[in-house]
Structure 1
Amino acid sequence: MVKSFFASASILTFAVLIGFSSSFAADPRVEQGARFEAKGEYEKALGEYRSILADDPRNSEAYYLAAQVRMKMKDYSGALANFRLAYRYNPSMSEAYEGAARVYEALGQKPKAEAERAKDPKNNPVTEAPAAAPEEPVVEQPKVAEKKVEAPVEEPAPQPAKVKQEPVKEVKAELEKEPVKDAKSEVEELFEKGKALFDEGKYKEVVPVWREILAKRPGDPGAYFYAGLTRFELGEYDKAEYNLKKGLTFKERGNDANYFLALVYEKGKRKELEKKYLDAYLKKAAPSAVFRATAESRLAELRGDAVEAKPEAEKPAAPVQEKVEAKVEKEPKEKAPKKKAAPVSDDGPTIEVANMLFKSGNLEPALQMYKQLLDTELEPEERYFAMLQMGNIYRELRDFHSAVNRYRIIVQEFPDSDWATEAERAQLEAIWQEKHASELPRATRR
């Protein structure tokens, strides 16, 4: 979390210093790149900036950030090429000239460093520009990567016959096109691997694949869609719901996300939401769609239930009262055996049993089981999910302060997790509930 904070802070500070546009500073790929850079994952950071350049090949800020990463990698020729492309597309970017100068200083070539600074328009450009001429004989022949170093050079005055625009185009093509193609192909390979594992039913093995794709290409709706299907197959319906909603914009199978969301709500016995998503699916589904017949049959069944329920709603108050009383008598009979089931597991506490207890309204036993699970060696994703569930239970028990603390831990310790966004939202809601606790009705679970 600390690294992420400083990475984000450095980007924001940098944006103010060199005048980055607000839209660029707000680009999630910038923050993700900074996170990778802070972790030392430089190739992944470069992948984020290449992605920006794929959309905008003249983005000087992206070139500058890529150059900074190249400097850390000690790839001086690559850094120099990127710094020069940065000030080529933004001649007023003083930091880019300074960056190019720092490259030459790292190589022990102070005259060339001074020449780079002299190109900066704010450093007497008219009188200092000719100083570049004497540098031509001092070509960096001993350097292996000399071709890259010379490629982007655009000295205005001397030796026009040597035409240095063509090498610039070559370097630009190498920086902008080829790496982007490699990044895309890498993600596509991961997709194919993930689909194959999913088709083989290896659901637990495929979870890290979708997470890796989202790390390389944040917000990818296809990865969210398949992550949702995977979580559904694993019986993790809360996670499936979260991921499927983000996968609704997936071009290839986004409409199928509506169908699987309906299945999620069917599992949770939330009929109104189930009908809503079945309707949404059928509006876009082709007549030959795989799930169309099943969706139509289920929707007709749900609407039939609604028609049968309507006459009861019109009956006088007495039968309704009888219905409520019947429910009150029935609830202890349903819950009693489930509460006894709390300590039943001979194999110790499990996430599945804790979830069952929570969903059935056995809040205290569920809370105790989640606490026991945190003392075991859980996978990270199960640990923060257990904490999220504990926060939800505390809220239902009206212990809003404890709920806020649980949500805060998730946001701070697992900022990149699937549930960080949900924990942040729930935290804000729990804070509000804590302040207005006396005004809130004491709701009961059905």
Structure 2
Amino acid sequence: MNKKFSLFAIACLFAASQAMAEDPRIAQGRVFESQGNYEMALGEYRAMLAEDSKNSEAYLAAANVRVKMKDYSGALANYRLAYKFNPKMSAAYEGAAKVYELLGDKKRAEAERAKDPKNMPAEEVAEAPAKVAEPVEAPKPAPKVAEPAEVKTSPKVAEPVEAPKPVEAAKPVEKVAEVTKPAAKVAEPAEVKPAPKAAEPAEVPTDPFEKGKALFAQGKYNEAAPMWREVLKKTPGHAGAYFYAGLTRFELGEYDKAEFNLKKGLEYKEEGNDANYYLACVYQKSNKTELEKRFLNNYLKKAAPNAKFRRKAENRLAEMEAAKAEAAAAKDAELAAKAEAAEAPAAKVAEPAEVKTAKADVPAVYRPAKAEEPAPVMDADGNVLSIAGAVAKFRAGNLEEALQSYKSLLETQQNPEERYFTLLQMGNIYREMRDFHSAVTRYREVVQQFPDSDWATEAERALEDAVWLEKHAGELPRRK
């Protein structure tokens, strides 16, 4: 009794150690799968396979997810890889069989189950050599093999899948001669071994959408492209077809067509947000920086923390900001020698050359292009008011003083270019002061009054940002 208890305890400890050894990414993948986040679940399994390309557990888990996604060809491929690297993984054989049943192919479902070593009577034959009465060619037949019920069901099952020698394939045939055809036909390994290969064509789905996805995954973009047209012909407005058509055109370098299709693919429920990322890639190829930035931000707003392209999107935005900062630093270095001009006496500031130079000393994001010098304006203390002076105060962090300077300048006779820049800078100051409502008002004035100005695009982006900040002001940290 004690011995049995000890064996039971050892078995429990072994099971517990196996459970503890399970890769946490499997558990995380199951959580995503239960939530319906299939792509995120697959991401966990891809991470495992990146470390170990023969991880049968990851292939099995990925196959189960593919079944839920109705990607039957992908599921079959993963089930087969699972039992390829772990021939005793019964769940993989059973999973492949169930996929064939879903496809209505019972014959191939039975063939998949027959591959499972636990379903092979040949293993039982090897354990019972006592009743051998056959020639040397079949030295170890089991008594159970001679039962007609087993033979009639599947005579080919008697051969193990891994068996390299034709001799072993002939083991059960000798006793079956009474109820079946001559043993010679069964003993031919050529009839048994090609069975898995015969099932390969079933992996190519007949549904054009699934077929197109399979071709795209294989990098056959020219063959995949007609599939999306076929899908859209049958189902106009199919968002998934537009999404994959956009990806296909992008890979083929047809960026105009990719842009058109990806915009329609934004509605694709499964992977629509990825269309934002690919649109950003399209605009990067086309050197449309503002549009690229917009769609990267759109992607990040909806992307989960561990989304497929999140890190790439964040790195690209950081790269763009670094490039902008580098350009600003280079410009600041160029203007460093002229920085004293903004603080020079009034007479000098009024000179055109001085005003132009000082006015160019603006933060990189908000620097106006080709702005003409403003007319000198005096404040209540007798100091000269200028855009250059207001910019210097803003840069020094004197927000209230800078705001008052811009307000005074706004009351003067400014040309349109000076006016929209003044409004834009006021919006920036209000945003720094966390008065988002006033910032929205100023940005909106720029967009509405000067839609064709050099900085209308920047004002529109800043307006969108300020509107968001105004709605979420309570969630932001307090300004120190």
Common fold, TM-score beyond 0.5?
Answer: no
Larger radius of gyration: 2
TM-score under structure 2 length normalisation: 0.39
Greater relative contact order structure (CA < 8 Å, 6+ sep) = 1
TM-score under structure 1 length normalisation: 0.42
